[in-house]
């Protein structure tokens, strides 16, 4: 999937940033990771407002704020949901535990997972 060509508004993250995280998806653990994310966050996840596609049917993946946000102390890690049909960013579901782990890693060695 190439979202860099999508012309719709980038609600949470610039499309180029989103594409970088899509390109990093490890297919060997993707389905397990998404199942776990949905177990934790499905109650908060929204359907597509345009086509009404259910949250569980959207494209889910983990994404981290760019380095500048971590430098500013506002970095976040969570799950972004996309509607492929409408080419929209639907939800960013913050994962507080992963955010804390990443914040500690950033403070110690300035690396993003």
Q: Tell me if 50 is assigned to some domain.
A: yes
Domain count, the chain: 1
CB-CB contact of 106 with 75 (8 Å): yes
φ, ψ (nearest 5 deg) of residue 78: -175, -160
Q: What are phi and psi of 63, to 5 degrees?
A: -145, 150
Determine contact, residues 76/93, Cβ cutoff 8 Å: no
Q: Could you tell me if residue 24 is inside a domain? A: yes
**pLDDT tens track, the chain, 113 positions:** 999 999 999 999 999 999 999 999 999 999 999 999 999 999 999 999 999 999 999 999 999 999 999 999 999 999 999 999 999 999 999 999 999 999 999 999 988 87
In terms of residue numbers, what domain contains 30?
7-109
Question: Does 83 map to a domain?
Answer: yes
Containing 69, the helix (H) or strand (E) segment is helix 67-71
Residues in the chain: 113
The verdict on residue 1 lying in a domain is no
> Residue 57 carries which DSSP code?
G
Instruction: Report if residue 47 sits inside a domain.
Output: yes
Is residue 87 within 8 Å of residue 3, measured between CB atoms?
Answer: yes
């Amino acid at each position: 999937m190439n979202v860099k060509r999508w012309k719709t508004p980038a609600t949470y993250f610039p499309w180029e940033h989103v594409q970088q995280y899509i390109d990093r998806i490890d297919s060997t653990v993707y389905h397990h990771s998404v199942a776990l994310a949905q177990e934790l966050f499905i109650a908060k996840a929204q359907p597509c407002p345009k086509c009404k596609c259910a949250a569980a049917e959207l494209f889910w993946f983990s994404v981290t704020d760019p380095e500048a946000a971590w430098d500013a102390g506002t970095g976040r890690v969570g799950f972004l949901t996309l509607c492929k049909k409408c080419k929209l960013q639907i939800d960013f579901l913050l994962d507080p535990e992963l955010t804390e782990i990443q914040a500690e890693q950033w403070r110690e060695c300035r690396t993003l997972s």
